[in-house]
C-alpha cells in the first residue's frame, strides 16, 4: 500500500474523504467500472497492515495450525461457558456459512484470525487511528482500499458466494462483504452487533505469507 500524505486536522481528513467519494461518481454513472472504497485505522505508523494471527509466525503451516487450534478453543469456550446465544449462527446454514460466522465473530472478540477489519465509514477508521491515550504521541494510520466489484465476494449469488468454500481451504487474498443480519437472535450476538455499529467488512489473508 502507498502512503500519500499526512493528516493533522479533521478538516484535512474530511477534504481527503470528499475527494475519495468524488472518484466514485464515474462508476455510479456507468462511465467506469464501479469500485467501493473501504477504510481502516491503526494506532501506530510502525504497524504493518497484517492480521493478528499472521504476526508471530513465518510459515503457512504455522498459521494453519494456529488457526485450527484457536478456532476450536474459541468455540469450546463459548459453548462451555453457556454463552452460545452471544454468537450469531444461522438456523439453516448454507454450505460453510456458520464456519464463516464463527470466524467473523471471533474477529470482533479480538481472537486472532486471518481476517483484517475494514469499514464503510471513514469516521470509524479515524476513530480507531486515534482512540487510545497511550498512543497520543504516536502517528496513527488511515488506510483506504479500493475494491472493484469483480474482486469483492459476498454472501449472495452463486458466483461470488464465499461460504461455499471452507475458510481453511482459502489460500488467496479475498475481500468479503458479509451482510448485516436482522434475523431473530442477532441482537444478542455481541460481536455481530459490534460489527454492525462499525459497518465492518473484512479482507482475508492467505496462509502463505
Q: Is the pLDDT confidence value at 150 over 80?
A: no
Q: Measured between alpha carbons, how far is 207 from 147 in angstroms, rounded to an integer? A: 21
Asked if 53 and 66 touch (Cβ cutoff 8 Å), the reply is: yes
Confidence of residue 58 (pLDDT cuts 50, 70, 90): confident
pLDDT (tens digit, 9 = 90+) per residue, 79-129?
999 988 888 888 888 889 899 989 988 998 889 999 999 999 999 999 999
Helices (H), 60-173: 60-80, 97-108, 122-130
Q: What is the pTM of this model?
A: 0.84
Please report, for the chain, the start and end positions of each structural domain, with discontinuous segments joined by +. Answer: 35-204
Asked if 119 and 101 touch (Cβ cutoff 8 Å), the reply is: no
Q: Measured between alpha carbons, how far is 158 from 54 in angstroms, rounded to an integer? A: 30
Higher pLDDT, 149 or 160: 149
Give the three cell numbers for residue 97.
Answer: 456459512
What are the angstrom distances between the C-alpha of 185 and each of 81, 124, 141?
Answer: 18, 25, 35
Average pLDDT rounded to a whole number, residues 5-27:
87
Amino acid at each position: 500500500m502507498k502512503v500519500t500524505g499526512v493528516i493533522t486536522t479533521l478538516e484535512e481528513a474530511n477534504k481527503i474523504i470528499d475527494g475519495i467519494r468524488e472518484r466514485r461518481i464515474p462508476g455510479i454513472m456507468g462511465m467506469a467500472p464501479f469500485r467501493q472504497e473501504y477504510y481502516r485505522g491503526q494506532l501506530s505508523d510502525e504497524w504493518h497492515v497484517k492480521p493478528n494471527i499472521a504476526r508471530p509466525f513465518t510459515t503457512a503451516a504455522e498459521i494453519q495450525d494456529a488457526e485450527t487450534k484457536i478456532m476450536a478453543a474459541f468455540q469450546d469456550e463459548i459453548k462451555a461457558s453457556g454463552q452460545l446465544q452471544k454468537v450469531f449462527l444461522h438456523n439453516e446454514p448454507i454450505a460453510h456459512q456458520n464456519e464463516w460466522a464463527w470466524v467473523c465473530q471471533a474477529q470482533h472478540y479480538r481472537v486472532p484470525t486471518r481476517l483484517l477489519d475494514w469499514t464503510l465509514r471513514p469516521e470509524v477508521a479515524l476513530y480507531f487511528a486515534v482512540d487510545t491515550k497511550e498512543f497520543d504521541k504516536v502517528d496513527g494510520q488511515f488506510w483506504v482500499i479500493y475494491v472493484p466489484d469483480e474482486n469483492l465476494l459476498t454472501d449472495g449469488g452463486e458466483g461470488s458466494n464465499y461460504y461455499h468454500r471452507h475458510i481453511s481451504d482459502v489460500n488467496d487474498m479475498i475481500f468479503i462483504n458479509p451482510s448485516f443480519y436482522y434475523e431473530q437472535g442477532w441482537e444478542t450476538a455481541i460481536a455481530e452487533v459490534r460489527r454492525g455499529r462499525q459497518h465492518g467488512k473484512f479482507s482475508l489473508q492467505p496462509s502463505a505469507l
